[in-house]
Amino acid sequence: MQDILKSNFIKEIGDTAANMYRLGWNERNGGNISYMLTKEEVEPYCDINKTIRKLPLDIAFPELAGKYFLVTGTGKYFKNISIDPEKNLGLIRISDDGTFSHLLWGYSDGGTYTSEIHMHLGAHMQRLKTDPNQRVVIHAHPTNVVSMTHIFPWDEREFTRTLWQMCTECIVIFPEGVAVLPWMVSSNAKIGMASAEKFSDFRILVWALHGCTATGDSLDEAFGLLETVEKGAEIYMNIVGKGERHGIDDEMLKGVVEAFNIKVRDGWL
């Protein structure tokens, strides 16, 4: 059997986490990643029939029964994932009834998955209903997105429209807009399921005064989505309060929509 540490997916998640840490989006142990893998991807590197431990879930996810996820651990620093993957990551398989998971590899110090596991599994559950290719959920604390929620109304349409107006690529990268949840206590099942509802219609969700979560077909896609939303928020934070600004108006946005043949959320332009 091959060494799981030599797999592409371990390197991918380590490189992504290290990059996000360098950007300042995942300070200390802030943030988390889950990466859904297929049996065919996992089996060459891991004994899928050997359970190290059973890890409980506060909410059952029978829709995800039998699915495999590589998940960052609770209390773990993103900068350390590429240095010691076996301690900072865990490979799990959801049980047949969805009430717990089988730990197949990782969390070697006796740890467990991120405290935001319910948000991650809820997001995967919803995104799979919309697009079966969606397999990545990334949660981070991008500085400018969080800053923007301190001074901007928590209104999805207006938040999205303002980001679209910051730079041309925003409406191209997230034409369906950005979901926004009012502030809630994090790291529990309640915010996890409230988030899951949002992911039925959106690929990216802002938690007011906290952070941002993106989904995608790959780590690069989800990271790029976060990156673009953060760029829009950075431009906004750089220009807000500095007098008259030009901005990208609705007619300009409609021109971009037409040129790129994209569909935006009805009524948002």
Q: Which residues are the active-site residues?
A: 116
The whole-angstrom separation of Cα 187 and Cα 185 is 7
Positive or negative: CA dihedral 78, 189, 154, 173: positive
Q: 69 has which bridge partners?
A: 36, 92
The whole-angstrom separation of Cα 205 and Cα 60 is 22
Helix 189-198 with 117-130: angle, nearest 10 deg: 20
Long-range contacts for 164-168 (Cβ within 8 Å, ≥24 apart)? 164/232, 164/248, 164/253, 165/247, 165/248, 165/249, 165/253, 166/231, 166/232, 166/233, 166/235, 166/236, 166/248, 167/231, 167/232, 167/235, 167/248, 168/248, 168/256
Give the 3-state secondary structure percentages of the chain, helix then strand then coil, rounded to 5: 40, 20, 40
Residues 109/81, Cβ–Cβ less than 8 Å:
no
Residues 216/222, Cβ–Cβ less than 8 Å:
yes
